[in-house]
Structure 1
């Protein structure tokens, strides 16, 4: 049984979406893949042993991918309870209401308090409704460029990196996308984002330090 204050589920729903995106266009509904992946995330969080010296994402990604692959083997029909669907709709309404009142996006914990459920349950409900951002900037949200032959550990590391970027503020994500996904110079990035080159340089250094810290802490 997960503790209510366990952050592993609530903070890693991005991994579920990133795993699911690897299979987009293969005949299974995206929402079904997210539900299957969410089950894998909960299982991984329940069984994770930090004493083994593994980063959580390295442990979780194979479990998440395994649940999604099982969905394909089983024919693709993922049953989602009516209760979870209704909870997801309630969570969406509450999220929109809180954002209007607070002037910012609410946390999962704030939404969970309003729903009267655990943060994990709220995260699963919200995860079923939310599609991930496109790091490559395509209107249709291209699949992540992770080689098919990549090992589970390499896949986990790449998805962890994407998940860290996904948690950034919009302008920071755009800066990273311009510099490292589109290969733009600092000068071009500054022009694109309405910043000076000096501002881009300073912000980029801070973001890279943040990413290294987050990746190391896993």
Structure 2
């Protein structure tokens, strides 16, 4: 079914305000089936907007929409009203996670021998560069070391590894932890084309303004902790602590969506 037809078949319900949304969630939690049904219907547009990003994957859009609705229902059932975030902020990673899990588990494609060999060479290059640089290398640095494109590096790494969170800690010594996000961020580009921008944007909005600025400056504008400290009038130690706290919160919210 085409995108247009799926959208036309969506029931027309008004957007809910945060106060009404929370009241319906409270009632649904207490067993009110009508409230739960209204929550589902009023959030179908959100599901549809997320599902559209997974077009051209070899699946009918209507099928992916149904999978996305399962994620929405899980979000409704699991949302904690004590969370100081909007329901949509919590629901987006839950819906996206459900769709990705379906695509991952239903995907019959096997990792080819050549991709496995490339992944092995990448791992060796990473180890060499880590020893030479004293830190985890970026995708661009690994690509240059092997004489292949950045896209080939990312594809081989993604194919050879189990799906993981971008906030997974890869290494930690006496200093700050190194997250997967740090490793894959390209030193020459502030943009992360493979990153789930909508999900991250939604999650960032749940952070206090200062914490949100720190994450944006550090991970999207490639500023150092010293740069951020100067901008905020804080010490680098304070920025480091605030950054870790913000990443921890984002990590917890992302995991809640991935685990479903």
Normalised by the length of structure 1, the TM-score is 0.35
Q: Tell which has more relative contact order, 1 or 2 (C-alpha 8 A, sep 6+).
A: 1
Normalised by the length of structure 2, the TM-score is 0.31
